[in-house]
Amino acid sequence: MAIILYILFFYSSMISANEITGNNIYYFPPGPNLVSFNILPDDASINNIFSNINNNLVSIISEGEISHQVNNQWVGSLNSIEYNKGYWIITSAVTVLDVQGNAEPSPTYVLYPGANLISYPHHASQTIEDAMPFYMYNNLHAIIGQNSAALLHEGEVFGTLSHFEPNKGYWFLMNELTPFEYNMPIEAHEENTSYRDYDDFDITYNQSTMQSAFFIKEAYYNGQILNGNDNILIYCNDINVGGRHWSGIMTDVIAMGNDGYIGTENYCEDMQNISILIDNENRTSTMHIIGNNNWTNNQVSIISISNIPLGDINFNDTINVTDIIIIIDHIIENNIIANDHKLFLADINSDNTINITDIILLIDLIIE
């Protein structure tokens, strides 16, 4: 993930538009880096901006546009950089880029239903709650950054993506067409801070330009909720493509896809099913996934996981008439289920109510 160092210089007096008003220094590790540019020169062509680092560049990708390096020449439809867009900068080696130019006032974005790759234009970080106008809570479903995501759900924000950071790029997943401007940050918070709650997670997979976010609402193992020592690992084709420490309700885990670049071979493909393991020093277990387990680029899914399948309420590795009796006893309040994991397994249709419908569905599971 790009670590962006900011060196911003401003003059107190009026200056002409073609004078340098500041510069940003970007540090790019090898691979994809999701960034944006809030300072640009008058000549914002990719030939001009990236001329000093061409030998280390593989591709530049924005929403619907891409350019590749072929024999030290750029080939593709992406010819220039814009203030309002986000970009994947794919490098072959550690690279430092110095961009000098002029700042521009915060742009107005027109966000379309679906995924929109946009910039964060301010020089100060701010929380998603502070940055979002009130109307966005009705129209914005989720935000995906580089190996992090935020879900706007029932008036709350969940996920490891808690702040917008200067010169990072973000995918906004919209429900409907919306004009949008970020709120202005509070000047007192204008320090450069990197907000990554998962820095201590031992990442063994490669960053991809193609990502799918899975928010885990509930996670159980043998009658207990997972704890902070449990790692959640996502696999495609028996290859680890994502992971995160369990941090409670709506923990987000990003699964990387095969984007055609080195290091993502055999990663997830569209409509492929993921698998999930939990791992800590005491156990490793394959989990059952309740909810949408299909991988699709720039998709957000809410799922739950359990090491025991739905319907096996007494944890005996068999779904049978005993489990039906347990549900009936619970419904008639003869023997109420008290354990949260067992309640979860008895709610076969995941509607937060245990009733006759769950009994019918459990019978269907038994006779399958």
Q: Please report, for the chain, the start and end positions of each structural domain, with discontinuous segments joined by +.
A: 3-103, 109-189, 211-306, 321-367
The whole-number pLDDT of residue 190 equals 44
The tokens 């106008």 sit on which residue?
Answer: 133
* Residue 1 pLDDT exceeds 70: no
pLDDT digits (tens, 9 = 90+) for 106-164: 899 999 999 999 999 999 999 999 999 999 999 999 999 999 999 998 889 999 999 99
Return the pLDDT at 157.
Answer: 94
Burial class of residue 187, CB neighbours in 10 A (0-12, 13-18, 19+): exposed
Q: Count of alpha carbons within 13 Å of 295, Cβ hemisphere only?
A: 24
pLDDT digits (tens, 9 = 90+) for 212-224: 999 999 999 999 9
Average pLDDT score over residue span 171-190: 86
pLDDT at 333: 96
d(CA 289, CA 306): 7
What is the average per-residue pLDDT within 318-336?
96
Residue 207 CB partners (closer than 8 Å, separation 6+): 1, 31, 32, 146, 147, 256
Could you tell me which of 315, 295, 292 has the C-alpha nearest to residue 305? 292
Assess whether pLDDT exceeds 70 at residue 197.
Answer: no
- Across 259-269, average pLDDT: 96
Q: What is the pLDDT of residue 281?
A: 81
Q: Tell me: the pLDDT tens digits for 71-90?
A: 888 999 999 999 999 999 99
Q: Exposure string (b/e) for 111-130, b if CB count within 10 Å is 16 or more?
A: beeebbbbbbbbbbbbebee
Q: What is the mean pLDDT of the chain?
A: 91
Which segment of 9-23, 123-137, 246-260, 318-332 scores lowest on mean pLDDT?
9-23
Whether 17 has a pLDDT exceeding 50, the answer reads no
Taking only the tens place, the pLDDT of each residue in 276-311 is 999 988 889 999 999 999 999 999 999 999 999 999
The answer on pLDDT for 368 being more than 90 is no
**Position 14 pLDDT exceeds 80:** no
pLDDT band at 9 (very low <50, low <70, confident <90, very high): very low
pLDDT at residue 328 in the model: 97
Residue 195 has pLDDT above 90, yes or no: no
pLDDT at 203 over 70: yes
The CATH code of the domain at 211-306 is 2.60.40
What pLDDT, on a 0 to 100 scale, did the predictor assign at position 16?
36
**Beta bridge partner(s), residue 251:** 216
Residue 21 confidence class, pLDDT cut points 50, 70, 90: confident
Smallest Cα–Cα separation from 209: which of 70, 111, 65, 110? 65
Give the pLDDT confidence score for residue 174 in this predicted structure.
98
